[in-house]
Amino acid sequence: MSRGIATPRPYMELLTVTAASVRAEDTVLENRTPDAVKVRRQRRDALGALGWRLRYSDPRSARQPERTFYGSYADAVRELADFERTATAATVAPTVRLKAITLQEWAIEWLRMRRWKHAPSGAFAGERRPHSTFAKERSIVEAYLLPGLGPQTKLRAITLRGLREWIGGLTLLDDRGVRGDQPMAPSSKTTVANVVKLFFRDATRELGLSPNPAAGLPTTWGTDTSDRRILVPNLGRVEELACALDEAWPLPGWAEGLYGPNGEGRGDIVRLLAFSGMRWEESAAMPSGLVHRADKLMTVRYTATESGGKRVWVDGTKTGAGERHIVIVPQLHDVIDRLDAVRARGLELEAERAGRREVRGGRSPVAPPTGSWSLLVSGERGGFVSYGQWRKQLAKARAASGVDLTAHELRHVAASILYAALGADWSTIKEQMGHKSAQETERIYVHVFRGDRARVARMLGAKIEELRQDGTESPSPHQW
């Protein structure tokens, strides 16, 4: 039986709203700008029903089963009572299943469950997990976990030692999907291990698997995972990568006259990520209209992910931090101007292109919801820049320059610059980087500065211009 009396708890969320839309029941956390207020408010579904967390304590399993429900408080009380009664009656059943269930059987069930971030319930239609997240987990299970451990292996036969040996010995797949001899990168092994932890954590919760064989898996694999994340940013090297991308990925012919004075072109994407701290998914969905030149701010409101060739547009950010405003540093002024000039030239030529398509009977390119040629970083046909194309061209630039930085590591460069300028002001760094809390920002980046912080601060200085090295200075930015 439950310990004490379980009651529904409000299912809350953090929102940034206008001052005029603050409700009496809202908990006001802070004023972000004179017109924007951050509030804590109870979630509602598409029909306006209130969200509730239903949780009770089960002393026999030492667990706290939980689910989400949308409706009135009275309905939530009844739903919680039914949930507790049904779950308590089924406490012993998973143990029987556990004796016979195989990895393949649990994988099918687990993937069906993981497809939902919040499963449908009553009038609530449910909320699916982002396609890119689910696709990554499914591919790891299907391409690595099942073939590596054996689909017919009993779930309860898996041991921590077996998981460590299997993940440690992982090799890459070739173009035909056949296992090769090249060892998998430590960072990729870490990704596999994280999915495996979720896989067995849920088996422990849903099936009563005990002990959890994945609980003791290392958080990092190999020696280069943490080393790659510990960045003392040399902006001269960042500029080398950007210049290599300028060469490897030239602008389309119709934008030939829009290069910068030093040949800057597609390399401006590298500069944008390194000086703004945006995620790739955010930069790929940044409308030009959300670049506020007068205020020197960019508003991050949308995300565009891509997995398996499928584009997913999200009206929201990757984390629960919500919409945020990124400060535009002076070194980004010319970068943004050049990117926007390419976008504007494409928009100018679009009417002519549309006429030719109509004559040929061709299809119009897929445009984001904000409109064709609306994105600051626009593709050559006015839509999104292909993630596959970006990765391919960045790989060429990395090979040509010898600067082995990924898009995500360019984001770490931005975080390092912020730390050099602000010190351990995690709250301000959180706003620029788009984390949910200052504690999360500190947890992610504190290892970056674990060494001699004073020495790192002296190296970086207070301004980006002071970090320029080896004659890589760009022309002084004009004033907007």
**pLDDT recorded at residue 226:** 39
Give the dihedral sign, CA 435/436/441/444. negative
Helix (H) or strand (E) holding 447: none
- Nearest CA-CA partner of 269 in 224, 335, 326, 212: 335
**pLDDT recorded at residue 166:** 93
Q: How far apart are CA 469 and CA 222, in angstroms?
A: 32
DSSP string, 186-240: HHHHHHHHHHHHHHHHHHHHHH--SS-TTTT--SS-SSHHHHHH-----HHHHHH
**pLDDT recorded at residue 320:** 66
Residues 6+ apart with CB under 8 A from 253: none
| Type of residue found at 161 | R
- Specify the DSSP class assigned to residue 328: -
Residue tagged 């921590």 (tokens): 160
Asked if residues 317 and 301 have their Cβ atoms less than 8 Å apart, the reply is yes
**pLDDT recorded at residue 472:** 47
pTM equals 0.59
**pLDDT recorded at residue 109:** 92
The CATH superfamily holding the domain 232-467 is: Intergrase catalytic core (1.10.443.10)
Fold designation for 103-227 = DNA polymerase; domain 1 (1.10.150)
Measure Cα distances from 350 to 6, 254, 257, 284, 356 in Å.
Answer: 60, 11, 18, 20, 10
Q: Which two tokens stand for residue 273?
A: 């990520």
Q: How far apart are CA 62 and CA 171, in angstroms?
A: 39
Q: Which two tokens stand for residue 206?
A: 């849903």
**pLDDT recorded at residue 188:** 85
- Nearest CA-CA partner of 43 in 19, 80, 20, 76: 76
Cis bond before residue 211 (omega within 30° of 0): yes
Asked if residues 310 and 426 have their Cβ atoms less than 8 Å apart, the reply is no
**pLDDT recorded at residue 160:** 92
**pLDDT recorded at residue 118:** 82
Q: How far apart are CA 164 and CA 180, in angstroms?
A: 19
**pLDDT recorded at residue 152:** 94
**pLDDT recorded at residue 358:** 83
Measure Cα distances from 268 to 103, 186, 215, 244 in Å.
Answer: 46, 29, 43, 11
Dihedrals φ, ψ of 10, to 5°?
-60, 140
Q: Which two tokens stand for residue 320?
A: 């629960």
> Tens of pLDDT along the chain (480 residues)?
334 567 899 998 888 888 778 887 777 777 767 778 888 889 988 888 999 999 887 655 556 788 899 999 988 888 888 888 776 655 545 566 788 899 999 999 999 999 888 888 777 788 888 777 888 899 899 989 999 999 999 999 999 999 999 999 998 766 666 667 788 888 788 889 999 999 999 998 888 888 899 988 987 776 544 344 444 456 788 899 999 999 999 999 999 899 999 999 999 999 999 888 898 889 999 999 999 988 889 999 998 887 666 778 888 777 766 788 888 888 899 999 999 999 999 999 988 888 888 888 877 777 888 889 999 999 888 889 988 889 899 999 999 998 888 888 888 888 877 877 777 677 787 777 887 777 777 776 665 555 444 444 455 455 455 555 555 444 443 444
How open is the CA angle 263-265-271, to the nearest 5 degrees? 105
Asked if residues 312 and 379 have their Cβ atoms less than 8 Å apart, the reply is no
Sequence ranges of the domains in the chain? 9-91, 103-227, 232-467
For residue 182, the tally of other CB atoms under 10 A from its CB is 10
Dihedrals φ, ψ of 264, to 5°?
-70, 130
**pLDDT recorded at residue 235:** 78
